């Protein structure tokens, strides 16, 4: 039985990290809200008594419902060909994934530093201050860490000699950062050549070529986590 993935149907968002693993792993799934619309997602979420999730994405399996992006990926990595085997590598990949999710949350809060319920326009001065700190301090701090993590591997991938869901996630995270902060990421390009090379390797994976060329791969936009507001970017 294919998995049911539930996520907002019009943005890559956090759902994209799960989609990439499902697609590259050749794992059958239905992207339910893309088939049935956002109202179906809202109805499904409110239909679970305990709440299947605090927020999408969530995955429906034979055994129940699993939420939290890194938790879904851990589950998929245990069962399908998208994570390295062995306890140590399993928790290493989970550790990297969780650190990426922390950076994703910070990238979101750049344009929403005060409240998710307010518009960007209602928190713009604060967003400009937070963007400065994110560009100057946080992007290098996270990317230095991922660079060191990659350099310590015996192979070309974060988990060693074969790609895992963490590489797919880093590919999407870097793409999102380049979309939202093109000037800053261009200025940092030479410092993070090894990460850019990893991004290129993922983009060239035969397992992903159909997906990346398809309409299933949604575009970034200013409704998403990674948003390009020119006033928040600088070299």
Residues numbered 13 to 52 that lie near its own copies (CB under 8 A) are 49-51
Question: Which contacts (CB < 8 Å, 24+ apart) does range 213-216 have?
Answer: 216/19, 216/23, 216/31, 216/34
* Binder among 102, 200, 222, 223 for its own copies (CB under 8 A): 102
Query: What is the smallest separation between the CB atom of 206 and its own copies, expressed in angstroms?
Result: 28
Binding mask 103-132 for its own copies (x = CB under 8 A): --x---x---xxxxxx----x--x--xx-x
Number of residues that bind its own copies (CB under 8 A): 44
The span from the CA of 9 to the CA of 37, in Å, is: 7
Q: Using the rule CB under 8 A, is 234 a contact of its own copies?
A: no
Residue 194 near residue 147 (C-beta atoms within 8 A): yes
Q: Which is nearer to its own copies, 18 or 208 (CB)?
A: 18
CB of 203 to its own copies, least distance (A): 24
**CA pair distance 208, 213, nearest whole angstrom:** 9
Alpha helix stretches (DSSP H) within the chain: 15-24, 32-36, 38-47, 69-79, 87-111, 124-133, 139-151, 165-180, 182-187, 193-203, 206-213
User: Footprint of its own copies on this chain (CB under 8 A)?
Assistant: 49-51, 53-54, 63-64, 66-68, 70-71, 74-75, 87-88, 91-92, 94-95, 98-99, 102, 105, 109, 113-118, 123, 126, 129-130, 132-133, 137, 142, 145, 148-149, 151-152
């Amino acid at each position: 039985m294919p998995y049911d993935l539930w996520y907002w149907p019009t943005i890559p968002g956090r759902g994209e990290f799960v989609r990439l693993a499902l697609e590259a792993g050749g794992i059958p799934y239905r992207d339910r809200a893309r088939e049935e619309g956002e109202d179906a997602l809202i109805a499904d979420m409110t239909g679970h008594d305990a709440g299947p999730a605090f927020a999408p994405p969530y995955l429906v399996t034979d055994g129940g419902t699993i939420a939290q992006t890194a938790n879904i990926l851990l589950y998929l990595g245990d069962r399908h060909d998208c994570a390295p085997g062995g306890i140590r590598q399993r928790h290493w990949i989970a550790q990297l994934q969780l650190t990426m999710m922390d950076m994703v949350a910070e990238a979101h809060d750049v344009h929403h530093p005060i409240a998710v319920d307010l518009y960007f326009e209602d928190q713009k001065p604060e967003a400009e201050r937070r963007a400065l700190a994110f560009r100057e301090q946080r992007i290098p701090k996270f990317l230095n860490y991922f660079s060191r993590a990659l350099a310590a591997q015996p192979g070309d991938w974060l988990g060693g000699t074969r790609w895992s869901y963490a590489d797919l996630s880093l590919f999407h995270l870097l793409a999102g950062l380049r979309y939202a902060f093109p000037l800053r990421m261009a200025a940092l390009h030479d410092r993070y050549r090894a990460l850019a090379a990893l991004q290129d390797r993922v983009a060239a994976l035969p397992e992903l070529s159909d997906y990346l060329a398809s309409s299933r791969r949604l575009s970034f936009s200013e409704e998403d986590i990674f948003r390009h507001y020119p006033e928040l970017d600088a070299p």
